[in-house]
Amino acid sequence: MNILFYLTSFISLAFASDVLEYTDSDFASKAATHDLALIEFFAPWCGHCKKLAPEYERAATLLKSNDPPVPLIKVDCTANTETCGKYGVSGYPTIKVFRNGEVSEDYNGPRDADGIVKYMRSRAGPTSKELKTVEEAEKFLSNAEYGVIGFFSNGESELAKTFQKVADALSMEMRFAHTTEQSIRDKDKYSYNDDVVLFQPKKYHSKFEESVSKYNDDAAVHKIKAWIQKKSLGLCPERSQGNADKFKKPLVVAYYEVDYLKNEKGTNYWRNRVMKVAKKLQDAGKEVYFAISNSKDMSYELGEFGLNDVSGDKPVVAARDTSDRKYIMPGEFSIENLEKFVNDLLDDKLEPYLKSEPVPSPNDEPVKVAVAKNFDELVNNDEKDVLIEFYAPWCGHCKSLEPKYKELAEKLKDEPELTIAKMDATANDVPKPYEVSGFPTIYFAPKGNKKNPQKYNGGREVDEFLKFLAKESTNELKGYTRQGKKKKTEL
């Protein structure tokens, strides 16, 4: 009996897990008890989940003894569809960082135990630092990044609680601090009472905009968040790979040797000239956004404008409009040239830049060749349904598809309302709304509805393509029934 007892206890210990598992019935109540937690949404059959499992387990054990402890949690989405649906889980594993039961950020960090531990330890501190002395406030604001301080007469007020929620949500984007100390608020620089204040770092100070901004709207989390995100960009912010997705369009970017660490004066020399134009147009009520970027760090982006060999001390300016069309400022940088370029952009007087192969001539093969310059004419032709393949010349799957795609086009070459086309997506700009992240990517663009092309996810045999096109074509094909059967030819 004793042997059986000890053996059972040993097995239980051996398989004990430090990863917590929640279900639909207890997720909301239990997740809310943790200041910080990492939660994996998984499926038992998922290969990537199985690969992650031992690393996740080891990280859970290490973080259990962290100060403060950080729990790692998992949710089986095959058994808990309500929770997984609530958080928009569409692939496995999906991992999210939670604070106080709410999503703080998507986890895109390492998938090994040590990497997970480091990532979560870096987030285990308070999202808003409490300032107790003037010296601490000065130290907080001496940082080279934006800082938000909440000045409160009562740390338990509704505004203070709202501020903390904002800090929890934006702690990855912004530094937050708060104080209730009268000794700090007695100083002229900090003479605020129940206010949320955004401080611009010294490196960005200029005569074109205020370096300190006070929030003056309703004390609602979403409004304060939106205000901070907008104000922290400023009139002409520094744009990098890490924050590039936060910028609205039309967007005008000056690319040069932006380096606040080694050359703050030189960086601001050009930035101030961009800001002069930005301020003038802003005062005129024109909606356009500006930024500066390091030309080396953003070289991939410059390559999208065909600016692969950028040299010289002066900035190179490029822009995108609200339709994501690209434009390059001609001539050397100057305040006058920049202002004219932006006004012409807003007045739609510029020719967009297109990365495009030459338009093929003739283009009479069964598979038509689309390039950026003939895309509208060929693919967006409202008189025809179009099946378009986006490929890469080096892609093995594309090479395997090629003879089948040609056979399909040959079978359908006499269809008057259907075009079979292909486009080298590495040599041509792919227009919106098409999204190409792998090769081959295939879309069906029906006539009369070119703004809503349908991504093709069916089989890649000729008969499978045929059945799809026979069913989806706007009008029934001339040579095939809706079921994809070849029609009999009348004698």
- Looking at the annotation, which residues are catalytic? 46, 49, 395, 398
In total, the chain counts a number of residues equal to: 491
Residue 255 DSSP SS3: strand
Contact 473, 454 (CB under 8 A): no
- Locate 475 and state its tokens: 């009008």
How many degrees, rounded to 5, is the angle at CA 6 between CA 5 and CA 11? 100
| Pairing mode of beta strands 20-21, 72-76 | parallel
- Locate 254 and state its tokens: 């000056």
- Locate 484 and state its tokens: 């994809």
- Interatomic CA distance for residues 178 and 180, integer angstroms: 7
Q: What are phi and psi for residue 253, nearest 5 degrees?
A: -120, 130
- Interatomic CA distance for residues 290 and 274, integer angstroms: 8
- Interatomic CA distance for residues 203 and 237, integer angstroms: 11
Residue 268 DSSP SS3: helix
Q: From 384, 366, 376, select the one nearest 475 (Cα to Cα).
A: 384
- Locate 361 and state its tokens: 């001539």
Residue 289 DSSP SS3: strand
How many degrees, rounded to 5, is the angle at CA 457 between CA 440 and CA 77? 115
How many degrees, rounded to 5, is the angle at CA 289 between CA 287 and CA 294? 170
Q: What are phi and psi for residue 210, nearest 5 degrees?
A: -70, 140
C-alpha dihedral sign at 335, 339, 345, 351: negative
- Interatomic CA distance for residues 273 and 4, integer angstroms: 81
